[in-house]
Structure 1
Amino acid sequence: MTRLIPWRETTKSLEAFRREMDRIFDKFFERMPFVEQEFVPSVDISETDNEIIVQAEIPGIDPRDLDISLNGRFLTIKGEKKSEHEEKRENYHKIERKYGTFSRTLELPADVDPDKVEAKYKDGVLKIVLSKIESGKRIEVKID
């Protein structure tokens, strides 16, 4: 039956291609030691029948320094991870922890209700639960 709908195959192929290109570019920029990396939280996105769950690792941040916004299927998490050390004359041998402002925009896998979004921050993990909305039910049409 899906072959009768020509754009469905094309849409799946384009989506798979886009994901593969995203993966390739992410791997490429991950391995570039000469590029100064900024703090970007790691994110997991999961889905149930009724919800989309986004979990972001953001340790050492005050939840008041976070800003979460939703625009259609795009969820943006912004914030600032403030430096914990004062400007003293300490002899650092290595500083690997990242500080500063960050912004991460994620495309959600389904449409969500902007009025039904919950966010909790606990133990360095921001958990955002978004309720899905039905976007177009499949209706079977009989042909006479």
Structure 2
Amino acid sequence: MTDLAAAKLPTYRCTVVPEWIDYNGHMSEAFYVLVFGFATDQVMDELGMDQLYRQETQCSLYTVEAHIRYLLETGLGAELTVTTVIAGAGPKKLHLAHEMHAGGQLIATEEILALHVNTRTQRTEHFPPAVSDNITSFRLTSGQQTPEWVGRKLTA
């Protein structure tokens, strides 16, 4: 990361493809999860946990809990953007809040809790200092507040 004062997690962008459309003519719920997963991968890269890091350290993020809200439908060809903020973090965990937009409207959210895991031992490990510093810098300088929907319980 080069400029801590400008540190902001990048926006993930993609387009809804035909394979993602369900029998109702809308993007299927599984593909919302896929897009959010790609956004998480981009966050990992930005924080210093890219492919080379995973190969060299044998460590990665494992999502252990997720909460998705499907707010609006979207369809074929829609341009999707996913913005992400770090809602919380600890020595071995990362709490992310993703917001998916299409056509300028919020269509879905995902909140995840991920653990930093050594893939050889299957045990959690502390983030190394460089990654921990990146998490802190993005969390403190993103200029974004934690969304109000983070931490909500499911309601009937």
Instruction: Tell me the TM-score normalised to structure 1 length.
Output: 0.30
Structure with the higher helix share, 1 or 2: 2
